[in-house]
Amino acid sequence: MDTQQKLDILSRDAQYDLSCACGTKNPDEHRRKNQAGDGWLYPTTTASGGPGIILKTLLGNRCANDCKYCPLRENQDFRPVAISPYEMASFFYEFQLKRPLIGIFLSSAVLGDGEKTMAQLVATAEILRKHFRYRGYIHLKVIPGASRASIESALRYASAVSLNIETPGGGHFSKLTDRKNYQKDIIEPLTFIAEQTQKGGRYSRVHTSSQFIVGASDESDQEILNYGSRMYTNLQMGRLYYSAYQSGLGDPSIPGEQKVEIQSEQLSLFDLGPQVGASPDLLVREHRLYQADWLLRCYGFSYQDLVFDKGGNLNLHKDPKLVWAESHPELFPLSIKRASKEELLRVPGLGPSYVEKIIQGRGSCAISSLEDLRLPPSTVRKAQSFLQM
């Protein structure tokens, strides 16, 4: 096979890893097939908020690990493919000269052992930086089992690194693998990365991210978001991702999923095609986790603010912000003219940009109604019952 044929296979297998720090605002876009026919090119959002394209692939797909949720785990019947560090680096460098790309996202199945695989990922980045003098974006996946020295080498050459936490706690983790150790292979490397990338540190320029596999064990949303909020606070994690377990790919022996009636307009959000096996209700759960994550990162909410049902899960029929607002009727309606920025961010339908528009608008002109701010009708419908003049 030539390089492009290898990439067609390896990039297809990379679809199961969504923790790309330059990813789009809509996580669903990570799963959509590139319309140009190059499956290894993925839509992204730049640091300035504009659209871009990234090359995303594995270096190899034959894994030595036994993760039950993963289709690339050992003893599976598929064609093994691998690409060398120089072949990958040279192909990417030549390709990005012809078509502008934001950068490259490199991951891999565990090829023999974690240290060997990490060395190949680092070697690819090193060739790009030193041989080709590439100064653009490089995201490297940290492989469980890699040494601290290998991780530090990755930090030296990468713009961003990620290591998937996979589950909230060792109990859930042990149900998915017999090979990996949660403390040694996940928690300790994540802590080391946090120490190296903290503000003022040697590698503070490097962005960090991680990912939960949602529904592969019997974890609750409450457990996931509890862990996630602590990762943001204690590890200064740049971004967390949530990937719905794709049923049929493994055998995690999980209890039956909660079933909900999903409206046709909701299904259109998750029209992922036959290559993805996650059920619609689990995809809605993933979507709610992303919404809760936005509340933690961008809206001033704390983990304690989030509302869960008796089973410790988010409401699948309503977004977490609306659920919170409806559970605190004593705080509403808020005055458009007098409410603070922090208070307005708690109003369903209002995001940071719309709140800023309200604050600027009331300082420059008289506001007699929410319509005076010329917000989208859908936003007005969501917010109007929680606001007054």
Bridge partners (DSSP) of residue 137 are 103
- The pLDDT tens digits of the residues spanning 290-322 come to 999 999 999 999 999 999 999 999 999 999 999
Angle at alpha carbon of residue 323, lines to 319 and 327, rounded to 5°: 170
Q: What pTM did the predictor assign? A: 0.84
In this structure, whether the domain defined by 328-388 belongs to CATH 1.10.510.10 is answered with: no
Task: Please name the residue that has the structure tokens 């990365």.
Answer: 193
Domain 3-260 identical in fold to domain 328-388: no
The structural domains of the chain, with segments of one domain joined by +, span 3-260, 328-388
Q: How many CB atoms lie within 10 A of CB 156?
A: 14
Structure tokens that stand for 302 in this block: 């704390």
In this structure, whether the domain defined by 3-260 belongs to CATH 1.10.287.130 is answered with: no
Bridge partners (DSSP) of residue 107 are 58
Indicate the DSSP class of residue 8. Answer: H
| Centroid of chain to Cα 315 | 21
- The pLDDT tens digits of the residues spanning 9-39 come to 787 766 655 554 333 445 444 444 444 445 6
- The pLDDT tens digits of the residues spanning 193-243 come to 999 999 888 999 999 999 998 988 899 999 999 999 999 999 999 999 998
